[in-house]
Amino acid sequence: MRAMVLHEPKPAEENPLRLEDVPVPEPGDREIRVKITYCGVCHTDLHTVEGEIKAKLPVIPGHEIVGVVDKKGKNANRFEMGERVGIAWLNYTCGECEYCKKGMENLCPNARFTGFHVNGGYAEYTIIHEDFAYKIPSLFPDEHAPPLLCAGIVGYRAYKLTEPRRGDKLAIFGFGASAAIAIQIAIYMGLEVYVFTRNPERRKLAEFLGASWTGDYNDTPPSKYERCVVYTPAGWMVPVALEHLKPGGVVSLGGIYMTEIPPMDYERHLYYEKKLLSTTAATRKDGEELMELAGKIPIRTHTQVFGLEEANEVLKILKKRQLKATGVLKI
């Protein structure tokens, strides 16, 4: 099968992925093989290929995977042959550790992640334990479903960790794929949304999706807010987000990677029982909740389609923040 393989982390400009012919994987016990139709290109993939997070090498990146069940291993009965499924970042957890038993499987020390520890979706086929695959709402065409599987799931968890309530004001810093999905959920749930982004086109999209105010990162919003998600990996934005937060409010950091956070003034940024917390991956429960909401709202996604062999080029464009929508590879 054709696959884009990472052997050594390099800057995106140096084309770190190689198009290769590799063996088609065979499913084991309770595993399914998925013939991939589309795979999203995520910022986490960029962090992986550039070595900002350390993957097990060699590896095929990609964890926003849509395809159909092509082959079933022994005892795999959850899906039918030919049924459409999605595969996300969380690929496996042990089910036995203290975190798994508490419903916090996203913190499992034995967890494996798609396109990071195991081969992902920049390929024609992949395999997954059937319990870690998702049914995708039928209203989503294949090319529009990939953003749900990482930007959607992890973005939803980051939003949920802010403890949102109807009538609250939610601030969003950075308006990429996760934010474009989270804003739709927040408005559906009755929150007012402020969006901070430098990009004029992204501000227009945020307004189209229902933001009541948009501005640059250093602009002052109309009022302080109770909830906030920082989706961009720029650490300097954390004090800015906290400065406009109401007492007792929550700031959630939605990225898997972040640059250094500068020193903060205790009274100005953290006092008055403000909460600051990170988001670590997501649980399958988060994924199931997101899929249900995606079909109910319904969530709209925006994608830009490329060929598999263009993966290096998409990563370069993503790095320059020049994608017009979520990049997806048509396999």
Of the chain, the percentage scoring pLDDT greater than 90 comes to 97
Burial 209-221 (b: 16+ CB within 10 A, else e): bebebbbeeeeeb
Predicted local distance difference test score (pLDDT) of residue 246: 98
- Our CA dihedral for 236, 280, 325, 189, rounded to 10 degrees, sits at -100
Predicted local distance difference test score (pLDDT) of residue 276: 98
**pLDDT digit string (tens) for 102-155?**
999 999 999 999 999 999 999 999 999 999 999 999 999 999 999 999 999 999
Q: How far is CA 258 from CA 14, 123, 163, 208, 297, in A?
A: 23, 28, 22, 28, 31
Fold classification of 2-149+281-293+302-330 (topology level): Quinone Oxidoreductase; Chain A, domain 1 (3.90.180)
Q: Which amino acid is at 91?
A: N
Domain 162-278 has CATH 3.40.50.720: yes
- 33 has a pLDDT exceeding 90: yes
Number of helices (H) and strands (E) in the chain: give both, helices first: 8, 17
Q: Which two tokens stand for residue 106?
A: 């996203």
Residue-averaged pLDDT of the chain: 97
Residues 86, 232: Cα–Cα separation, whole Å: 25
Neighbours of 206 (CB within 10 A): 24
Comparing C-alpha atoms, which of 267, 229, 269, 268 is closest to residue 251?
229
Helix (H, G, I), strand (E, B) or coil at 184: helix
DSSP 271: T
Residues 289, 153: Cα–Cα separation, whole Å: 9
Quick check: 303 and 146 in contact, CB under 8 A? Answer: yes
Q: Which two tokens stand for residue 25?
A: 């994987």
Q: How far is CA 174 from CA 54, 214, 231, 238, in A?
A: 24, 11, 5, 12
Residues 291, 106, 176: CA angle, nearest 5 degrees: 55
164: confidence class by pLDDT, cuts 50, 70, 90: very high
Whole-prediction pTM? 0.93
Q: Which two tokens stand for residue 76?
A: 């795999």
Instruction: Report domain extents, the chain.
Output: 2-149+281-293+302-330, 162-278
Residues 133, 149: Cα–Cα separation, whole Å: 10
